[in-house]
Homo-oligomer: A and B are copies of this chain.
Amino acid sequence: MARSSKAAVSAAGARVIAMRGAGYYSSNTAGAKQVIDSAAELALSAIAGMALPADGRPFAIADYGAADGGTSLDMMRRLVGAVRARDGGLPVSLTYTDLPSNDFSALFSLLQAEGGEGREGGLGREPGVFVFGSGTSFYRQILPDATLHLGFSATAMHWLSRSPGPIAGHTHAVGAAPEERAAYRAQSLADWDTILLARARELVPGGVLVMANFCVDENGHYLGWTGGVNMHDRFAAHWRALQDEGTITEAEHRAAALQQYYKTAEEFAAPFRDPASAVSLAGLRLERVFTRVTPCPYRAAFEQHGDAASFARSYIPTLRSWTESTFLSALDPARGPERRRAIVDRFYDLYEAEVAASPAGHAMDYVHCFMVIRKV
């Protein structure tokens, strides 16, 4: 999960972060799709209340951090349908953004798929629908000024634009010491301003952003910890175990830190609360903000079937889809790709064995902050 792990690459030394391509991501992220389906309701409401372009320009929708487009596809169909229901002749453009390393071929193959016997054609093949990709970080302006009607982003913006540094003895900011955590927080708040100001330039007046981002909720819960086993602590423990058994070096151990931060709803809302902030002055207004926990679908399935090994086999790949590149890139390149791959395989095998042997409390519930933001 974590819909796109493609954090922006802002500085020369930025870490390489990449999703596994070729549809691996979407097929392992059933929960991410549930979140997007929820956000779709917010987006549909926004479209219903929005002035449509009357000057021949397309109604422009963007998905920021779209990965292979699989998780948002049903929503996109509904959004296009909602625009069409109001104005059947209005062209609609869909711009999917992600880092250059994203698997855009998977995206375009999905969107431009030919229809046929019992098979629906890709959304990009519908008359009047125009599909684009942009391999541009969402930390930069992606669309020209005042051309965007509806911007959407799900489960992408917890990835920071650059690494605030190592985290001693852990692999995520949620387990960092206070001063390390403060550096991650500061980067995240600065990044949030950057994201919002870029979107403020892109939006038409009256345009809307609908976002669902990972957060720390009112109960202190976050992705991977909603009261049971703490997923991030388990990552850290298994990574530590690899060092303890001599598989990885101390330097490699230290090099693995997910370039992420989970903000609270208050932190998300802060720029809007201050009428003198750059975000407020740019015309952005927060219309709705709430948090919601989406139960882990793999855990839910386990509650039904009760097969711990099967649960572990389905659960670990979804964790792997968004963490693998961080752990791979922490390993010394001198080991060569095969050895590095083998080490990372062992890392996830250890985690899978733990879950299979002792499944109680393992779950990756999603904890999201949903927002509706309007440009005045």
Contact = CB atoms under 8 A, between A and B. Distances in A.
Interface of A: 9, 12, 55-58, 91, 93, 95, 100-105, 107-109, 111-112, 114, 116, 124-125, 128, 130-137, 140-147
Contact of A105 (B93, B104, B109, B134): B104
A145 B140 CA distance: 27
B134 A133 contact: yes
13 contacts: A9-B114, A12-B114, A55-B55, A57-B147, A58-B144, A58-B147, A100-B108, A100-B112, A102-B105, A111-B135, A124-B136, A130-B134, A133-B135
Nearest to A108: B135
Nearest to A111: B135
A91 B141 CA distance: 12
Contact of A133 (B57, B133, B141, B144): B133
A89 to B, nearest CB: 10
A135 B136 CA distance: 16
A104 B12 CA distance: 21
Please list the 5 inter-chain residue pairs (A to B) with the smallest Cβ-Cβ separation, ordered nearest first.
A108-B135, A100-B108, A104-B104, A132-B132, A133-B133
A295 B376 CA distance: 58
Given A12-B114, A108-B104, A91 B145 contact: yes
A109 B104 contact: no
A251 to B, nearest CB: 26
Interface of A is mostly: loop
B136 A108 contact: yes
A74 to B, nearest CB: 20
Nearest to A109: B100
Contacts of A102: 105
A56 B108 contact: no
A133 B137 CA distance: 14
A134 B136 CA distance: 14
A103 B132 CA distance: 15
Contacts of A145: 56, 91
Given A136-B112, A144-B130, A100 B91 contact: no
A93 B56 contact: no
A116 B56 contact: no
A133 B112 contact: no
B135 A93 contact: no
Contacts of A125: 140
